Amino acid sequence: MKHLAIHGGTPVAVGQFIETAWPPVCEATAEKLKQLYLSRAWSFNSPKEQEFEQAFAAYHGAKHGIFMANGTVTLECALTALGIGPGDEVIVPALTWIATAAAVKYVGAKVVFADIDPLTAALAPAAFEAQITTRTKAVIPVHLYGGMADLDHIIAIAQKHHLAVVEDCAHMQGGKWRGRGVGAWGDVGSFSFQQSKTLSGGESGICLTNDDKLAELLYRTKHIGYSRYDQQGQAGTPPPSGLLCHNYRGLAFPAQILLDQLDELPALLDRYNAFTDRLRELTGDIAGFRVQAPGRMASPQGYYACGLIFDGSEWHGIPKARFLQALRAEGIMGINGTYGPAYKHLLFNLHEKDYRNSGCPTAERLSERMLVLMHWHMSHRANADALASAIHKIADNRKELHEC
């Protein structure tokens, strides 16, 4: 007799796992959006954008926030403001969304992939240091899924080699490391508020920085050269010669949505952190299985997803697609594979001359051994219980997955 639901057994989590819709909506925000619409203050560094910039920067302990169209142009503007361009190299982790690498190409620099740490799934400090050359100008650590990059070591290495640090915090709104918000540690922190992210404005993004000069350059870069101190339509001073300026402006509407969500963020992150604590506790005895980043998390940790890693020899011969199917059959929703190594993504199409990949075996191996549960399913404690039951059941009946 077969036990796993994938083979006709009774699903263990059906009726237990609570599905959640994302992004969240609320009537009070809808009313504010209506008022904002009627106010005509939609763009051009509107009061709502400024209010959000200040609130988000203050939350993370950064001096400046520069609101933009999305979390890809924030990375691009960060590199532009730091003076990075053709002839330069920028190191990025192999496991990330392709935008991290694309931003480097947008400024004409060369993308250099470095391997990840198997515990955090983020950039490995030693792998980063090994890729530094005389052309290297910056590194972009990514706080990925439910883990964070080792900021202390990465920043120390960057300082030793006089490199800029741009934190890609698209997955980690609200996370704090040693009391200071992520994104406020590097020279620039970049956040995305795309629809699936932990704070969701539909689209938009923000750069954080503590550096007054960089803040002004970031502003000019996203607003076609205007200074923050200019009136719209009345340029007072020119941007620095050659600075590549764009129209990457944000809008007041997502800023309003995000302001309301920011109020709820601490409570949301509390629930997400409680979820992983519970899942870790309930699955601690499953051989060869772990939840991403044990003992290496921020407080609170920010989450885009909860990383589920089954890389022990116990799971040898069970492909991730099989494990995924088995989990879905047990009634678990919202589980996906990772992005995989960026240079292998279907949408990644940089020419070989535009990037260097000296081999990233940990990213390649972990990509085959890691699944992620999207963050909005982490709001319910019941879901941690359901997921743990499903993983236990699959582990106990692992042999059934080998058989076909």
Ligand X SMILES: *Cc1c(COP(=O)(O)O)cnc(C)c1O
What residue ranges bind ligand X (CB under 6 A)?
70-72, 96-97, 99-100, 142, 168, 170-171, 192, 194, 205
What separation in angstroms does the CA of 79 have from each of 167, 206, 219, 316?
11, 14, 13, 41
The least distance separating ligand X from the CB of residue 121, rounded to whole angstroms, comes to 12
Catalytic residue among 197, 213, 222, 353: 197
Q: Which is nearer to ligand X, 16 or 221 (CB)?
A: 221
The least distance separating ligand X from the CB of residue 69, rounded to whole angstroms, comes to 8
For residue 197, indicate whether it is catalytic: yes
* Sequence-separated contacts (24+) of 134-137 with Cβ below 8 Å: 135/87, 135/88, 135/89, 135/110, 136/88, 136/89, 136/90, 136/91, 136/112, 136/161, 136/163, 137/82, 137/83, 137/84, 137/88, 137/89, 137/90, 137/109, 137/163, 137/164
Report the distance separating Cα 358 and Cα 224, nearest Å: 37
Q: Which residues of 284-306 are buried (b: 16+ CB within 10 A; e: fewer)?
A: eebeebbbbbeeebbebbbbbbb
The least distance separating ligand X from the CB of residue 190, rounded to whole angstroms, comes to 7
Report the distance separating Cα 91 and Cα 188, nearest Å: 15
The least distance separating ligand X from the CB of residue 99, rounded to whole angstroms, comes to 4
Q: Which is nearer to ligand X, 4 or 142 (CB)?
A: 142
What separation in angstroms does the CA of 324 have from each of 5, 193, 318, 334?
12, 27, 10, 10
Q: Which is nearer to ligand X, 198 or 357 (CB)?
A: 198
What separation in angstroms does the CA of 178 have from each of 33, 160, 184, 280?
36, 22, 12, 22
Q: Which is nearer to ligand X, 11 or 141 (CB)?
A: 141
| Phi, psi of 207, deg, nearest 5 | -105, 135
Report the distance separating Cα 65 and Cα 379, nearest Å: 28
In sequence order, what are the residues at sequence separation of 6 or more whose Cβ sits closer than 8 angstroms to the Cβ of residue 372? 145, 146, 305, 306, 307, 308, 335, 336, 337, 338
* Sequence-separated contacts (24+) of 245-248 with Cβ below 8 Å: 245/220, 245/221, 246/73, 246/77, 246/221, 246/222, 247/222, 247/223, 248/68, 248/69, 248/70, 248/73, 248/76, 248/77, 248/221, 248/222, 248/223
The least distance separating ligand X from the CB of residue 237, rounded to whole angstroms, comes to 30
Q: Which of 169, 176, 163, 157 is nearest to 198 (CA)?
A: 169
The least distance separating ligand X from the CB of residue 335, rounded to whole angstroms, comes to 17
The least distance separating ligand X from the CB of residue 235, rounded to whole angstroms, comes to 28
Q: Which amino acid is at 215?
A: A
Q: Which is nearer to ligand X, 115 or 330 (CB)?
A: 115
Q: Which is nearer to ligand X, 203 or 385 (CB)?
A: 203
The least distance separating ligand X from the CB of residue 323, rounded to whole angstroms, comes to 23
Q: Which is nearer to ligand X, 167 or 330 (CB)?
A: 167
Q: Which is nearer to ligand X, 280 or 345 (CB)?
A: 345
The residues annotated as belonging to the active site are: 197
